Structure 1
Amino acid sequence: MDEQLVALKSALSRNDVLLEVMSRTASLELPGWYVTAGCLFQTVWNVVTHRSPTSGIKDYDIFYFDSSDLSWGAEDEVIKTAQRAFTGLAAEVEIRNEARVHLWYEQKFGVPCPAYESTEAAIDSFAATTCCLGVR
């Protein structure tokens, strides 16, 4: 496991956009935040197949968990703050409060979603195990 973590860190560190996303996200001081999903596994696949580390990455997903206010307005304020923080970055960044997912998931995807207890629980629920990863 230690060897795999070293290899993962090495691969992810080759994606300068990812490192910048992580740096800017850290400055937002969001509770329980992670950069997650496709940008991570795509970076690894790119590195092991000798492509540019950013090749084929559609966006950079950021999850956080704030159950203190489940309103759309509270999440939207975080989204707007993040948009300002990511100004000038040559990448699309999508940020979502995982404490709210159960409020909209069924309407969007047609199946219910239980309320998550943490960002980690949300990441663990991904259908594709290659997505079940988050980094800070």
Structure 2
Amino acid sequence: MTIRNETDLINLIKEDEAMMNVLRIVKSLDLPDWWVCAGFVRSKIWDVLHGFNKKTVVPDIDVIYFYQKEKDESKDEKLEEKLRSIAPHIPWSVKNQARMHKVNDFLPYSSSFDAISKFPETATALGIKLSDWENVILAAPYGIEDAINLQIKPTPSFINNKKGLAIHEERIVKKDWKSTWNKIEIHHL
């Protein structure tokens, strides 16, 4: 199967009952400016493009939201506990993006979409969520071209800073994507 555009990707997600279930569970929390993102979306794309019949297990399901008024990490831990009580088999990871800019020494983010745009790789800078009518909404600040063309490239935020380039290279080694998806092409800078 091929993925040519965002509509194809959204349709694939709609057809994936496990992904839709994750989205419904997260939506039930009613978090401000929420998304399920990163490897959750990228792995679906790469699994399909590699012709895998079975989903690749991701180490965590990244749930992000943006709430400026309460940035305490303990809130994220409570949300993870709540998600585990609903779906204990899912490796939840919840992060309020109002504080996550500090991880990479960036300026504060203005929204979850802004945070997604500051993710390390363009193929990972993807998020999905459900509208009130259960339509899948895609956040793709750099489009989906790199993901569907199996390209690993740093986002502009990581290209333009020395620490970012080091993080990009560390992630390539740590994530070892090529051992799972052998058709991807990694761009070192």
Deviations 1:2-36 (A, max 9, x none): x6122111222343322211010010100000010
Give the SS at the match of 2:59: coil
Following the alignment from structure 1 to structure 2, what is the Cα–Cα distance between the partners of residues 7 and 131?
Answer: 17
Deviates more, 1:76-85 or 1:27-36: 76-85
Residue of structure 2 in register with 1:21 after alignment: 22
Q: Which runs of 5+ in 2 are unaligned?
A: 130-189
- Distance verdict in 2 for CA 1:53–1:135, change over 3 Å: farther
Following the alignment from structure 1 to structure 2, what is the Cα–Cα distance between the partners of residues 96 and 130?
Answer: 20
Residue of structure 2 in register with 1:50 after alignment: 51
Following the alignment from structure 1 to structure 2, what is the Cα–Cα distance between the partners of residues 97 and 53?
Answer: 31
Residue identity in the other structure for 1:95: V
TM-score (normalizing by structure 1): 0.81
- Among residues 107, 110, 113, which one is paired with 1:117 in the alignment? 110
Following the alignment from structure 2 to structure 1, what is the Cα–Cα distance between the partners of residues 58 and 11?
Answer: 18
CA contact (8 A) 2:77 2:94 kept: no
Runs of 4 or more above 4 Å deviation: none
Mapping of 1:71-82 within 5 angstroms? 71-82=72-83
Deviates more, 1:71-80 or 1:126-135: 71-80
Residue identity in the other structure for 1:115: P
Percent identity between matched residues is: 22
1:91: how far off? 2.8
Give the SS at the match of 1:129: coil
TM-score (normalizing by structure 2): 0.60
Deviations 1:86-124 (A, max 9, x none): 23xx33121111112135x1xxxxx51321111001100
Return the structure number with greater helix share: 1
Q: Which runs of 5+ in 1 are unaligned?
A: 106-110
Give the SS at the match of 2:98: helix
RMSD over aligned CA atoms reads: 1.9
CA contact (8 A) 1:47 1:53 kept: no
Deviations 1:44-81 (A, max 9, x none): 11112221352142221110111111122333322222
